[in-house]
Chains A and B, each alone.
Chain A
């Protein structure tokens, strides 16, 4: 009995929680308790998985008694367990935040009662995608999380959300169909969908067929990860959703796409066949994304564009297919999930405190709420890559790997990366200057809340003012602060984390541990695999 054999619980526990919270749909308090407890339990379990992957290397779990090339297999390696831990930590923080928001607003909206079950299903889908060892199960994981995200995206069914939801659903369904077509073609060409088995069999295919399959998969994942030519749906659809939902989408959903791209590139199609187009896409993603961010006046839209832009960094690291580049990309994914989510959470707080998320209407927040200013400042500087923070370390890792590679395209990407970093700084500095530093009266359309006399600041339940809404509930600020602290912790523990990323990158590029864990010693025959652990 190995710790790693508990891996399916990372998917089962949230689904169980979803079922329970669905039964408790009339009991909001019990719902909150159950979902937070189960997600904490999942997080603890995933920490154990990470520890076991750290010590014991890659392990695989077969499900339902079918041997690996045929049955469903879940693989725990350093990359997937790191992703699991980071994603669950982030989703737990967002869940607490959403709970705080629900308590502060009194849960008058009926649809909110389906928030908890849907959210837990989303978490289950994300975990399933990270753990799955075969392409079709990856597809199922994607569909679980996407279907949950459709519901969360259109929560409440207001006009703007439905409009954004339509775009989002159609684009996601098209990308899923592309993925499914790719799976069908892969199965037609090789007769298997198990990724370890595919890693052995795809190499024997005709190069033309292989490139076709490769491109199909990359396009499908590229839409989900919002890589440049396929990224236009994201800034259109994310900003309208409720703040916690946008936060968790920004943190997790695109990263699942990036994760799938990493697996495709390293495990299924090693080598450098498509590295040049990927690098060009990475460069364009970075630059076009950040230029889009500079034009926005709504903070949520601005952050959505920076999200697209920074996906470019990860694709850059991936496209180098060197240990240094991949390690930096792994580190950057972990960093970016945390930072981007905390920025969106802070934006939710800004919207509550300042009455708007448009920088044209905000002002003077630094004076009204210094805590909020601090919570925005740290992750914003982290995102831009200011030296002590993890954003800087991740970018330095990428740039070093790029210079090591030394091709003209790599140098272009290094320059593009630096420029993007500076432009990100410009974008967040604009938000800072306008929303936090200037006086509210200098805003073009200052929100009445900002101009109101001070007492609103301490308005709580039972305050004399007509406002019944707590502007900054403690739970929401606390969970945001916790996530910001996790971001800072990534900086403090960057050394061990980079070590882990480095080993994860080595194992992924080597492919041996993964194939060995899934198919066993007689990997070439692929029939005797006990599916056990190494």
Chain B
């Protein structure tokens, strides 16, 4: 199998540029990089077909080895169509990112950051087990050894029975913002994180 050197050099250059570009954070550059990679691969497939021969139209007086190998070109055609579709889709996504975030960069995953920042101490798993675990707490002890029912008005509201809550729907919402012991505070999210502000699909339903 003979190989065209120019084709190989062009292919190598395309791969190099493509790999450089997909490592960028800017989405448009990533897209350009992907396009270069796809085209470099097309050249690679073309190179596997060997030297350029005659068009593969059968004639009795042409020896079999004089024809061009048609299969790589069929493969390239398929791969061009696929990369075309993916490029169009990527452009759509990039435009959407621009509309939503006004920037052409890959965004950080907020939940990822939150998990990474969570301390290994877990308020619930690592807390001392309360002495009293019944449904009707008289003197329920928290991990700080204090009576849980002593913790401010909003905390006390939530431990009351459901009939009281039906009269005061806002009290249930407040329960999320009840006061906590200071040692539990690191496990809590800061304002603006995912849990405070639920995703469009998450809360509300």
Contact = CB atoms under 8 A, between A and B. Distances in A.
Given A159-B100, A163-B109, A445-B176, A174 B22 contact: yes
A143 B82 contact: yes
A470 B31 CA distance: 42
Interface in A293-345: 295-298, 301
Contacts of B90: 169, 173
B143 interface: no
10 contacts: A150-B86, A166-B107, A185-B44, A295-B118, A355-B205, A445-B189, A447-B203, A448-B172, A451-B158, A452-B165
Contact of B37 (A163, A174, A358, A469): A174
Given A184-B41, A295-B115, A445 B195 contact: yes
Which DSSP category, helix, strand, loop or mixed, fits chain A's interface? helix
Interface stretch (A175-183, A202-210, A375-383): A175-183
Nearest to A468: B205
Interface in B112-128: 112, 115, 118, 123-125
Nearest to A351: B202
Nearest to B169: A452
B119 to A, nearest CB: 11
Interface in A137-164: 140, 143, 147, 150-151, 154, 157-160, 162-164
A348 to B, nearest CB: 10
A357 B96 CA distance: 26
Q: What secondary structure prevails in chain B residues at the interface with A? A: helix
B72 A187 contact: yes
Which of A140, A163, A183, A352 has the largest count of B CB atoms less than 10 A from its CB?
A163
Interface residues of A, number: 67
A187 B89 contact: no
Nearest to A153: B93
Contacts of B196: 445
Given A162-B97, A180-B45, A136 B204 contact: no
B115 A296 contact: yes
A180 B41 contact: yes
A158 B200 contact: yes
Contacts of A158: 199-201
B124 A434 contact: yes
A242 B202 CA distance: 10
Contacts of A160: 199
Interface string B77-115: 011001001100110011011001100001101011001
Contacts of B16: none
B106 A136 contact: no
